[in-house]
Amino acid sequence: MHLFTIAASVIPNPTPVVPEQAGGLLTILNWASGIGLVLGVLGVIIVGIGMVIQLQRGEGAQAIGKLGWVLMGCIIITGAAGIVQAFV
């Protein structure tokens, strides 16, 4: 155990610091993420309306695939902004 304690004290633990020049980029990323999420929610609402209409026509199974694509897009938008912010 003592060897592990010594090795752990040698490993540096840097604290991430955002450079001053990255402030504008972070603002753009936050806006893009927010706009993407609003459009994603709007997309889910539109697909939901389409599902109701298609269910009344008897074509409900096709709309579930569209909902999956919209939700996947929301996940990608949200994840992309977080990944880029981690590296900036």
Per-residue pLDDT of the chain (88 residues; tens, 9 = 90+): 555 555 556 666 667 777 787 778 878 878 887 888 888 889 888 888 888 888 787 776 777 778 888 888 888 877 876 776 677 6
Would you call 78 exposed, middle or buried from its count of C-beta atoms within 10 A (0-12, 13-18, 19+)? middle
| pLDDT at site 41 | 86
Judged on CB neighbours under 10 Å (0-12, 13-18, 19+), 43 is middle
CA distances to 1, 55, 60, 88 from 72, rounded to whole Å, are: 46, 22, 19, 24
pLDDT score, position 81: 65
At 60, the amino acid letter reads G
pLDDT at 12: 66
